[in-house]
């Protein structure tokens, strides 16, 4: 008789796969890729594309052949995330890739292709991407370092919704391009990929406030959230925020919004510590990411797709790991006619 196990609706706390790609320790506030602490990873890989061979191919011995007869349709809209999905679907015609090197070349080509630029002649994929989406304005050295660091530290974060979507697609023997498209489609939802509006709105409304502590205290006492603080997983400071903080601070001298954000962060942490001493409400990576993208001149509608470009590395790593198991992901649903009533 088959044993049926009931699990939480959101699969929280349920282990659905074994992975060697990343370790998330929410209690200790630690994140590592393949056993290496995230801060060391950021220091080791100055460019996102340099991360790809190590993260994606560490356990890959050969390119997995595609399934026969895979087809994809046309989304019919120019919304940024759909444009990225189109690029991924276009890659279906090139699947299977000739070798691992051609797969990484294809992956690294996606951000510049989305931005409409030829990456040759640029010092990094990030520089090409920023130049393209900013209408031809190349980044400064500090801006290029900042986006590379952001992409490296956001490349992988365990079995979040979009990564799980990639693994589900991979378990069906889907091709890599279509599995990545599944992940980006999941990331497009506002509850996952999100957007920086909340953090930037808080920064805007406090721009001319003299007594930040008093203003933020009133917001907290009124039951309002301070966007960019606290995290669903981490109970200490988000290690990704820690890894991003230095490149973030390096931009402060040239970008007033970063300087204001640092002052706001200091005040918010002080107020939250006083008003909610029993809750671990530390700065999360979304706070830095929102301000970082504003400083880099990335339009709000391009923030989710900018995040998605970095996350493609982790998606590809999970794709190969799942294909290696050869197991179709097929959970059960417990029937309850009252659901949704």
- The H or E element spanning position 25 is strand 22-25
Q: Which two tokens stand for residue 171?
A: 């378990």
Distances (CA, A) of 124 to 45, 48, 139: 12, 8, 11
Q: Compute the distance between CA of residue 325 and CA of residue 341 in angstroms, rounded to an integer.
A: 39
Active site residue 79: no
Q: Which two tokens stand for residue 306?
A: 């900018």
- Which residue, among 95, 64, 76, has the nearest Cα to 177 in the 3D structure? 95
Please tell me which residue in 144, 242, 265, 286 is annotated as part of the active site: 286
Active site residue 231: yes
Please tell me which residue in 49, 103, 231, 320 is annotated as part of the active site: 231
- Which residue, among 192, 240, 238, 179, has the nearest Cα to 10 in the 3D structure? 192
Distances (CA, A) of 90 to 73, 74, 106, 301: 10, 10, 11, 22
- Do the Cβ atoms of 193 and 308 come closer than 8 Å? yes
- Which residue, among 156, 181, 90, has the nearest Cα to 321 in the 3D structure? 156
Enzyme catalytic residues: 231, 286
């Amino acid at each position: 008789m088959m044993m049926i196990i009931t699990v939480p609706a959101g699969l929280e706390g349920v282990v659905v796969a074994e992975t060697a790609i990343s370790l998330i320790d929410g209690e200790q506030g630690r994140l590592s890729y393949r056993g290496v602490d995230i801060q060391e990873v950021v220091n080791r890989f100055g460019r996102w594309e340099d991360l790809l061979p190590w993260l994606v191919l560490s356990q890959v011995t050969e390119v997995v052949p595609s399934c026969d007869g895979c087809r994809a349709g046309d989304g019919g809209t120019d919304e940024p995330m759909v444009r990225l999905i189109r690029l991924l679907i276009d890659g279906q015609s090139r699947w299977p890739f000739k070798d691992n090197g051609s797969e990484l070349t294809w992956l690294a080509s996606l951000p510049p292709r989305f931005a409409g630029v030829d990456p040759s002649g640029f010092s990094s994929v990030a520089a090409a991407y920023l130049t393209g989406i900013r209408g031809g304005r190349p980044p400064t050295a500090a801006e290029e370092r900042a986006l590379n660091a952001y992409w490296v530290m956001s490349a992988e974060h365990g079995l979040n919704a979009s990564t799980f979507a990639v693994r589900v697609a991979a378990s069906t023997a889907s091709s890599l391009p279509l599995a990545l498209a599944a992940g980006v489609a999941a990331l497009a939802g506002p509850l996952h990929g999100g957007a920086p509006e909340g953090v930037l709105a808080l920064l805007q409304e406090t721009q001319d406030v003299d007594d930040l502590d008093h203003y933020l205290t009133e917001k907290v006492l009124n039951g309002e959230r301070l966007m960019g603080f606290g995290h669903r997983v981490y109970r200490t400071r988000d290690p990704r925020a820690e890894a991003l903080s230095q490149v973030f601070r390096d931009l402060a001298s040239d970008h007033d919004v970063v300087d204001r954000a640092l002052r706001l962060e200091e005040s918010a942490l002080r107020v939250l510590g006083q008003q909610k001493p029993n809750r671990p409400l530390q700065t999360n990576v979304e706070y830095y990411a929102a301000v970082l993208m504003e400083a880099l001149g990335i339009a709000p509608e391009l923030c989710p797709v900018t995040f998605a470009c970095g996350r493609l590395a982790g998606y590809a790593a999970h794709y190969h790991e799942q294909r290696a198991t050869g197991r179709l992901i097929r959970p059960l649903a417990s029937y309850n006619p009252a659901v949704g009533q």
